[in-house]
Amino acid sequence: MSSLLEVKNIKKHFPLKNNQLFSKEKHVLKAVDGISFSVKKGETLGLVGESGCGKSTAGRVILKLLEASDGEILFKGNDITHVRGEEMRKLRKEMQIIFQDPYASLNPRKTIEQTIIEPMKIFNVPRNERNKKLERLLDVVGLQSHHKHRYPHEFSGGQRQRIGIARALALDPELVICDEPVSALDVSIQAQVINLMEDLQKEFDLTYIFIAHDLSVVHHISDRVLVMYLGEIVEIGDVHDVYQDAKHPYTQALLSAVPEADPHHEKKRIILQGDLPSPANPPQGCKFHTRCSLAEEVCRAEKPALKQVSTSGQMAACHFAKEVVG
């Protein structure tokens, strides 16, 4: 299968305001600092990391809601990095986003009907087709037809997220970026929404980039997983490989924090020392060395490259991970 989306070395740097008068020194916050990956049609790529590691920024750069500072974004083989204006607007039909906060992502002054129909209006879908599609979307996301005249504040968080999903699907997109779609919901509702998203993926043949910080959710929904730390990829690979045998100490620490349902299974928690360093002033060498239990001189001096660490294509960026060729 060919890749639907290919991202090559994208960077997003935000210039920081300098408060000192006449100072020429310029600071930049490297939210995303050179990440590359590809997503195949129909698969789900999980994007995990602590808050502030740049995963949401990466999602927005791919959707071109934010302009990339550097790098290339290929969608269906076409370079869309510098596509702007009307051409970009047409592309939006094929890539959509589901937002994190269902309370903030729906316009409070619009009814559900208006919200879901709007994308179709923008792309001039005929009126009778629009209404048919609306009914169908309400049905597939588990809302009832009489809900459509209501306003967002009359719904619960889970229902609102369903509305957000219906809006994202209104244009039959191929790629959907899910920006922590369940982290604002109650745990009982999370499972429902995740199941709904899985069903929709099968039914509409969707490709997901699933951004989350909840590792068990990512484990459940993803085919492959990408772990980010301070704007860089530390590990990427098949979800089973990464969860069974993580090669990077950061991934290992993250996974050790996931609670398990088996009370007899004892495992070693790896507690990370210290806080996440500021992305405006990241450590030299390996960015993780300040919190890594394995860190040695080489980590402080030299930045590890992403290298293949298993035969199935798992890659990690650590000096101590054994490189496997083939």
Partner 1 sequence: MSLQPNSITNPDLSETKNAKTAKPRSLWMDSLFHLLKSKTSLIGFCIIFILIVTAIFAPLIATHSPTEQSILNQYQTPSSEHWLGTDALGRDIFSRIIYGTRISIQIGVIAVGISMIIGVLLGSVAGYFGKWADQIIMRFVDILLAFPSILLAIALVAVLGPSLRNAMIAVGIIGIPQFARIIRSAVLSVKETEYIEAARAIGAKHGRTLMQHVLPNCIAPIIVQATLSVGTAILDAAGLSFLGLGAQPPTPEWGAMLSDGRAALQNAPWVITFPGLAIFFVVIGFNLFGDGLRDALDPKLKK
Q: Which residues bind partner 1 (CB under 8 A)?
A: 63, 65, 89-90, 92-93, 96-97, 99-101, 104-111, 118-119, 122-123, 136, 139-144, 146-147, 149-151, 153-156, 158-159, 164, 167, 170-171, 188-189, 192, 195-196, 199, 203-204
CB of 151 to partner 1, least distance (A): 6
CB of 158 to partner 1, least distance (A): 5
- 269's tokens: 């928690």
- 124's tokens: 């001039």
Closer of 158 and 249 to partner 1 (Cβ): 158
194, 198, 140, 144: which is closest to 167 by C-alpha? 140
Closer of 106 and 306 to partner 1 (Cβ): 106
CB of 83 to partner 1, least distance (A): 13
Residues 221 and 44: beta-carbon distance below 8 Å: yes
Query: In degrees rounded to 5, what are phi and psi of residue 152?
Result: -55, -35
Query: What angle is formed at CA 209 by the lines to CA 64 and CA 156, rounded to 5 degrees?
Result: 95
Rounded to 10 degrees, the C-alpha dihedral 186/188/192/194 comes to 60
- 126's tokens: 């005929």
CB of 155 to partner 1, least distance (A): 8
CB of 238 to partner 1, least distance (A): 28
Closer of 109 and 265 to partner 1 (Cβ): 109
- Nearest-angstrom CA–CA distance, 154 and 138: 16
Closer of 169 and 234 to partner 1 (Cβ): 169
Closer of 153 and 268 to partner 1 (Cβ): 153
Closer of 193 and 316 to partner 1 (Cβ): 193
CB of 49 to partner 1, least distance (A): 20
CB of 39 to partner 1, least distance (A): 18
- Nearest-angstrom CA–CA distance, 169 and 151: 19
Closer of 14 and 320 to partner 1 (Cβ): 14
CB of 48 to partner 1, least distance (A): 21
Closer of 89 and 127 to partner 1 (Cβ): 89
